[in-house]
Amino acid sequence: MSPVRTRFAPSPTGYLHIGGARTTLYNWLFARRHGGKFILRIEDTDEVRSTEESVSAILESIRWLGLDWDEGPAGLEREEGPHKPYFQMRRLEVYRKHLRELEENGLAYPCYCSKEDLEAMRRLAQLEKRPPRYDGRCRNLSERQKGDFEAQGRRPVLRFRMPQEGETVVEDLIRGRVRFENGLQQDFIIQKATGGPTYNFACVIDDHLMDITHVIRGDEHLSNTPSQVQLYEALGWRPPQFAHLSMILGPDGSKLSKRHGATSVLEYRQQGYLPEALRNYLALLGWSTPDSQQIFGPEELVSRFDLSGCQKSPAAFDPVKLAWMNGEYIRKTPLPELLRQAEPFLAAAGLAGLKGPSLERTVALEQEKYKLLSEIPALVEFFYKPVAFTPKALDKVLRAPGAKEILLSLAGELEGSPFTEKALEERIRAFCAERGLKTGQVFHPLRAACTGRTEGPTLFGMLEVMGRETVLSRIRAAAAILSAATET
């Protein structure tokens, strides 16, 4: 058997979305599992909508996910691999050669139908309650008829001559044997009036010339497959093996879209997801192991991936499960790496370089609670910025009877106490016992005075990290605010 070669071939008309990211991942996993090659090819035949910005965003998204490719573009200009170029619009001479071959062998023909002609065909098909398709009226034009159309200034497209009888059988690695009646297919366009190739044509030429052995793609491409298989046969080539992945639906059962939340890979990065968490979650969108394993290490995901685990039915995208999984990965991430990943969010919040305890210590305090990297700044900023009291902290806790007096007395007790977590807990609990106070009467005002909040990291560990000077100054500042309010 030939070495496994898979490919992801995005159209650069926008950002890389969840569906495309999953397709990329599955092709990458399959190639890595079988010791093969993963190829990235840019299918930029949509001359109107393809942009360099989209190309850059797609490359950035795939790199961020950690899915390295063996051949393909290294950027907009540089390409690496024996089959370059990997941008279809740089391969036009390659396509023209095969277009001429098909036309010379009577397997393709020029079609001069206008948009109005095609629209009339569509309307007639609707009235007759049959699938709309090209009716083949230009299949057997005489040279004189072609000349007349040329004289009118009509620029033809080139159509592939599909067989009109029999069936095309696709042996799909996920869906099994799928049969298509040739009589229900249409002569599809392989060259546009502009001279550029169409998707259905160019991908066949490229997949063959790039030695692609497995085409793993979304099920929206299944309907294109009989046309492509017939094109392979017309050129005397053996088709690759096909595997069509299930559709991804939103939590409400409708097609995944923007209204279900972020759908672009880069948006998930901006929201604070870890690439390895998103990669793990994407793997489970339509694939599972016999034991329904949920969390995978990088090498484990490669070793366990197999197309036999892919389902035919649609997969449901669950943002709650994704957030849970991201939290699981954050908890497992070594602190130095977590800080590296969180640095853009900390910098955007203005926390980089501020006076105070080290970010390593403050971020570590609540690592068990984070679900998103973007949550970290709000949970640690009170260490570095002036205290901003929440209404609950001020009105319900600090203004409770006796809270001010308790805080001032406690400040005196802490003046000479060792400022370690264990020593602070022992001293403050003893303070409560000596005065006959419930721990909540002391712990809650103390937290509120030091942080402006009623919730946060473990109290005594937080006090140790904050340090004696800051803790005492904040306790006394809170008491002063309460005194001023009383006097007013």
Is 332 in the active site?
no
Average pLDDT over residues 299-304: 96
Q: Which of 258, 312, 396, 422 is flagged as catalytic?
A: 258
- Range 425-455 burial, b when 16+ CB lie within 10 A, else e: bebbeebbeeeebeeebbbbbbbbbbbbbbe
Residue 259 in this model has a pLDDT that exceeds 80: no
Strands annotated E in 164-279 = 167-172, 176-181, 189-191, 214-218, 241-245, 248-249
Q: Assess contact for 450 and 387: CB atoms under 8 A.
A: yes
Q: Assess contact for 475 and 410: CB atoms under 8 A.
A: yes
User: Which residues, in sequence order, are bridge partners of residue 160?
Assistant: 108
Largest CA distance in the chain: 110
Q: What is the pLDDT of residue 67?
A: 97
pTM equals 0.93
Task: Encode pLDDT of 65-88 as tens digits.
Answer: 999 999 999 999 999 999 999 999
Q: How many CB atoms lie within 10 A of CB 252?
A: 10
Task: Encode pLDDT of 435-466 as tens digits.
Answer: 999 999 999 999 999 999 999 999 999 999 99
Task: Encode pLDDT of 210-225 as tens digits.
Answer: 999 999 999 999 999 9
Q: Which pairs with CB-CB distance under 8 Å and at least 24 residues apart come from 410-413?
A: 410/442, 410/446, 410/475, 411/472, 411/475, 411/476, 411/479
Q: What is the pLDDT of residue 71?
A: 98
Residue 201 in this model has a pLDDT that exceeds 80: yes
How far apart are alpha carbons 267 and 262 in whole angstroms? 6
Strands 248-249 and 167-172: unpaired
Residue 97 in this model has a pLDDT that exceeds 90: yes
User: Which residues, in sequence order, are bridge partners of residue 178?
Assistant: 170
User: Containing H/E element for 320?
Assistant: helix 319-332
- Tally: H helices and E strands in the chain: 20, 13
How far apart are alpha carbons 64 and 279 in whole angstroms? 10
How far apart are alpha carbons 7 and 213 in whole angstroms? 9
Task: Encode pLDDT of 9-65 as tens digits.
Answer: 999 999 999 999 999 999 999 999 999 999 999 999 998 999 999 999 999 999 999
Structure letter (DSSP) for residue 404: H
Kindly state the percentage of the chain with pLDDT values over 90. Answer: 92
131 pLDDT band, cuts 50/70/90, is confident
